[in-house]
Structure 1
Amino acid sequence: MWWKEAVIYQIYPRSFQDTNGDGIGDLEGVRRRLPYLKNLGVDAIWLSPFYKSPMKDFGYDVADYTEVDPIFGTLENFKALLAEAHALGLRVLVDLVPNHTSDQHPWFLESRSSRDNPKRNWYVWADPGPDGGPPNNWQSFFGGPAWTLDEGTGQYYLHQFLPEQPDLNWRNPEVREAIYEVMRFWLRLGVDGFRVDVLWLLAEDLLLRDEPGNPDWRPGMWDRGRHLHLFTEDQPETYAYVREMRYVLDQFSEPGRERVMVGEIYLPFPQLVRYYQAGCHLPFNFHLIFRGLPDWRPENLARIVEEYESLLTPWDWPNWVLGNHDQPRLASRLGEAQARVAATLLFTLRGTPTWYYGDEIGMVNGEIRWERVQDPAALRQKGRLGEHGLPPGRDPERTPMQWDASPYAGFSSVEPWLPVNPDYPERNVALQEKDPRSMLSLVRRLIALRKDPGLLYGAYRTYQARGGVYAYLRGEGWLVALNLTDKEKALDLPKGGRVVLSTHLDREEEVGDRLHLRPDEGVVVRLD
């Protein structure tokens, strides 16, 4: 299966490359940068949404699933991108947003027009509660009730995100078939699969019961965390929906051209792995982001990997992620030195890695002031300050790609939709391509090294997880040692070998039975 050996590279099209001078990245920009991605060594790209949209949530509010929004170009631009990617040997995954649409989608406009409209049951509608308020206590991910009253029809509609993103009613077979036809449209064009948005939220409790309180919630924590989400997340019906989606994909698959489903699922491991059995090829494993990066210790990382590996069946293929468009940048979390160590971890663990654009040059979070905030989730918290006294939200990890030291970092010829990070003259692709010890050079080396069969398919076994050093064996021939501290460390090896890669990119040497690690150094050893 190609996706087992692949490295997936996530592109946020708004921020990758602008070619028409409007300050917003576009599909033609992605096409022009395909040679860079091929040279980086990745095997597949995942494009965040580029569909027709009012852009209340930057494309995750879809108004037409089979049209390209004009700010990104045209369907012909997409076809040209797809054809060139395939010519270069790159697979293309597109974002599928099946849980909700825009409130401007024709389906919803019909649904809200009257209670007896044929599409009324395409969305989740409910009568007001006894007090005239929302039907229950469900909360939106973006703050406030997950229900909005439609004055015209006197009922509330469900939206787990913005009010402009009404939830589809997946219990309705007509809805499911409509989404499956959307999948067929893109599969007929030749896409290689989908990253499915909020896959674990497709179903909700039929009785619309109140969710119980969370005894661990404290004031100041995320407001949605007040409740345990027993009736809005990971409902049993979801697995049947995933199986149906997998059936659609399988109808377009053939040997060497399997179409793949990657599912966005934020769940503990015991629940996450059930999605393999339901038919999702790669249920996204975010545990390094949410459990590993905040607690960057060998003992914790080993615990995460071992728990995951222990729950996988022989038919399940692992996957790992360190960043995406919703989470702070890797280098901002760990610092540049440990970001290199983290990259070594990601590309040498067993399973498919997904890499976020710009992390290969160590891009850091942008500093976005209130007057430049774009993220709707942040705008709903106007006036509140987050970390470092800056507004909360997801804009900092979405700043434009830093290609070179020219104005606007080579991303655009005009002021971009989000400000370019001020460090771009010193941190950009053009400079790092000339530096054999740059982060970019390291990522290229790691991706190339990962193609070795032992690192692709060899079993994982923890070797050491103490004293600041995390080390593990891959198959019979590889050992990876990661110094998670800023102190020198030493590690006794099971046998001699050769250091084939160091995160410092200045070391290839024979080693005996003792390995010395410099501060913030990760090494990959080929054992004798």
Structure 2
Amino acid sequence: MSLEDLLYRVSPPELSRADLGFGWVSNMIRSRQEIVRTMMQDVDRIRPWWENGVLYHIYLRSFVDSNGDGFGDLKGAMGKIDYLSDLGVDGVWLSPTMPSPNDDWGYDVADYLGVHPDYGTIDDLDEFIERCSEKGVRVLLDLVPNHTSSSHPWFIKAIEKPESPFRRYYVFAKGKQDGSPPNNWKDATGASAWTLDERSGEYYLHNFLPSQPDLNWWNEDVQREFEHILRFWFDRGVAGFRIDVAHGIFKDKLLRDDPPAPEMSRQFSHFGLVETYSKNRDEVHPLYKRWRKIADAYRPNRLLVGETWVGDIGRLARFYGDGDELNLAFNFMFVFTEFDPKSLSEIVQSTLSVLPDTASPVWTGSNHDISRFPTRWAHDDDDKTKVALTILLTLPGTVFLYYGDEIGMRDVDVPIELQRDPMTKLIPMARFQRDRARTPMPWRSGDGRGFCDPGTTPWLPFGPDDGRDVQSQSLDESSALTLTKRLIRLRCSVRDTLSRFESLEVTEKLWRYRCGDLYVVANFAEDESYEAPLPPYKEAVSSRYGAVGSLGDSDLFEVGPKEAVVFRR
């Protein structure tokens, strides 16, 4: 059939073949594209694109360096869009891309409507979003609403002129009668969260570094500023935001002292304090309802993901509202649970029992602020790492992979003289050495590792050249990368069924469960095998051996030590 015949068959009946000139063809193609987009939007209304999906967290500075300066950038990331598409992810979350003096590597924003020159230009970001979209990959940006950089024009005006309206954009307060800070709140380093402004004699609040002053979210002008910021990026095609410190942007209006933490709850305490007044205020929920209305007004709906550092599932569930606040909220109770069947099963079951029916849980093991799960959970054991990957990718809800998770990338011991994170140097606790989880992505072995040109010094050092790189693992049928690809494809094939979850058996060393049409047997034992009943299946994937072929006539299937097997009905 000729192109003309094909176009005539799909054209409106009142048009003759003579009408099918080049201009009409172009318009017709555009109209067909609009139809496809509308159909995709209709699908999104039925099931959001992120539900039961997989998103990929890119720490852009460490992903790919395209210009030889040792820092990853947008043009470098553009060269890996095919890789992301082949991996099978639904979207990517870029750690901060906005202009910043980098006191906290982008989490100190100096301009919410721009792109940091280290990464490229706003045109580069537009192109990255467009090219990702062509491959079916959505792009999320990092939004930092809790605080700005001290070099942001708002704060400069607030400091220079106390009578300026921008003074009320931030939290300023007088000290106590003895001149000490207004209250006992601590910043992220354990020091006082207040710094004295010598010119005015008032203190300003900062939950992080003194160069990251907290915004005053009681000020409606601040709220309007961020509604504009949301719309600015949504209009440019950004698919959503990961919201930094989503639980903490409102503070107690009376600036009351935080109470001491009971001994039993110290894991989620803040230097011995419960952040009752410095964070975790109920006033944040009406704000997210307003943001959700903005996000839902776009087609397809935009995604709001919260960084929600809370210590109980009930509080986490509140961020979903009645399906009208955040779409997703990170579950740090899962992140920091012990890597054993009972602990994992308990947190998964309690999460699913408490979240609203409309809520999609979030599962992740690593991010830019914490130790990577191959080190923290698996203790640098490759087989355990692949068991962890199998579990992550077979749970109901939305999964976030941190760049390098798919190759079992481990923490890297960064010598103190090469550390780049200012906050780490102020915290004398090894678990907060964030540089070790931010080192450059190893795309291949050899000088530069495919991250940068040979001879270029990367901004942080590489880990050992030990075969944990993309090129090597692409050729290995039993690698973590190959396993990740298989699991994502398996997950995608049964995506509509994954809301159904049932834990079947939990022991000290074994976890069996069903998630939709997936049946999972995870053996955590160091040296004991487990014989599992063989279910009806179409295919099976082993964390150690890859795709499983014929299982013969046996009614049982053996799962070896430190192995997980996934069956698909």
- Is the pair's TM-score, using the shorter chain for normalization, greater than 0.5? yes
State how far apart, in whole Å, the 2-side matches of 1:397 and 1:350 are: 26
Q: Within 5 Å, which residues of 2 pair with 1:258-297?
A: 258-267=301-310, 268-277=312-321, 279-291=325-337, 295-297=338-340
Query: Matched residue of 2:270: which SS?
Result: helix
Q: Closer, same or farther in 2 for the Cα pair 1:33/1:526, shift >3 Å?
A: closer
Q: Closer, same or farther in 2 for the Cα pair 1:424/1:96, shift >3 Å?
A: same
Q: Closer, same or farther in 2 for the Cα pair 1:425/1:496, shift >3 Å?
A: closer
**Aligned match of 1:393:** 433
Query: Matched residue of 2:50: which SS?
Result: helix
Q: Within 5 Å, which residues of 2 pair with 1:258-407?
A: 258-267=301-310, 268-277=312-321, 279-291=325-337, 295-333=338-376, 334=378, 335-381=381-427, 384=428, 386=430, 392-407=432-447
Q: Which amino acid aligns with 1:201?
A: G
**Aligned match of 1:453:** 494
State how far apart, in whole Å, the 1-side matches of 2:268 and 2:510 are: 33
Say whether the 8 Å CA contact 1:143–1:223 is kept in structure 2: no
Residues 518-527 or 502-511, more deviating: 502-511
**Aligned match of 2:34:** none
Say whether 1:523 aligns with 2:565: yes
Aligned partner of 2:549 among 490, 494, 508: 508
Query: Matched residue of 2:512: which SS?
Result: strand
Gapped runs of 5+ residues in structure 2? 1-47
Q: Closer, same or farther in 2 for the Cα pair 1:400/1:171, shift >3 Å?
A: same
Say whether 1:211 aligns with 2:251: no
Aligned partner of 1:181 among 228, 242, 257: 228
Say whether 1:157 aligns with 2:201: no
Q: Within 5 Å, which residues of 2 pair with 1:464-475?
A: 464-475=505-516
Q: Closer, same or farther in 2 for the Cα pair 1:469/1:493, shift >3 Å?
A: same
Residues 112-121 or 342-351, more deviating: 112-121
Q: Closer, same or farther in 2 for the Cα pair 1:312/1:155, shift >3 Å?
A: same
Q: Closer, same or farther in 2 for the Cα pair 1:309/1:513, shift >3 Å?
A: farther
Q: Percent same amino acid among aligned pairs?
A: 38
User: What is the aligned-residue RMSD (CA, Å)?
Assistant: 1.9
Aligned partner of 2:175 among 128, 131, 135: 128
**Aligned match of 1:141:** 188
State how far apart, in whole Å, the 1-side matches of 2:265 and 2:127 are: 51
Say whether 1:91 aligns with 2:138: yes
Query: TM-score scaled by structure 1?
Result: 0.93
- CA deviation after TM superposition for structure 1 residue 497, in Å: 4.4
State how far apart, in whole Å, the 2-side matches of 1:136 and 1:329 are: 35
**Aligned match of 1:248:** 294
1:232-257 per-position Cα deviation (integer Å, ceiling 9, x unaligned): 222010101111111221222x2xx2
1:329-357 per-position Cα deviation (integer Å, ceiling 9, x unaligned): 12112122111001111111101100000
State how far apart, in whole Å, the 1-side matches of 2:449 and 2:247 are: 37
1:279-338 per-position Cα deviation (integer Å, ceiling 9, x unaligned): 1000112222111xxx22211111111100101222111221111111111211212211
Query: Matched residue of 2:247: which SS?
Result: helix
Q: Which amino acid aligns with 2:333?
A: H
Query: Matched residue of 1:179: which SS?
Result: helix
Query: TM-score scaled by structure 2?
Result: 0.87
Query: Matched residue of 1:471: which SS?
Result: strand
State how far apart, in whole Å, the 1-side matches of 2:536 and 2:238 are: 46
State how far apart, in whole Å, the 1-side matches of 2:354 and 2:214 are: 32
Say whether the 8 Å CA contact 2:96–2:142 is kept in structure 1: yes
- CA deviation after TM superposition for structure 1 residue 488, in Å: 2.3
Say whether the 8 Å CA contact 1:360–1:439 is kept in structure 2: yes
Gapped runs of 5+ residues in structure 1? none
State how far apart, in whole Å, the 1-side matches of 2:470 and 2:534 are: 39
State how far apart, in whole Å, the 1-side matches of 2:555 and 2:185 are: 58
Q: Which amino acid aligns with 1:432?
A: Q
Say whether the 8 Å CA contact 1:146–1:158 is kept in structure 2: yes
| Matched positions, count | 512
Aligned partner of 1:416 among 458, 463, 470: 458
**Aligned match of 2:25:** none
Q: Closer, same or farther in 2 for the Cα pair 1:458/1:127, shift >3 Å?
A: closer
- Name which one, 1 or 2, has greater alpha-carbon Rg: 2
**Aligned match of 2:112:** 65
State how far apart, in whole Å, the 2-side matches of 1:260 and 1:487 are: 44
- CA deviation after TM superposition for structure 1 residue 495, in Å: 4.8
State how far apart, in whole Å, the 2-side matches of 1:317 and 1:457 are: 11
Residues 394-403 or 449-458, more deviating: 449-458
**Aligned match of 1:107:** 154
Say whether the 8 Å CA contact 2:490–2:568 is kept in structure 1: no
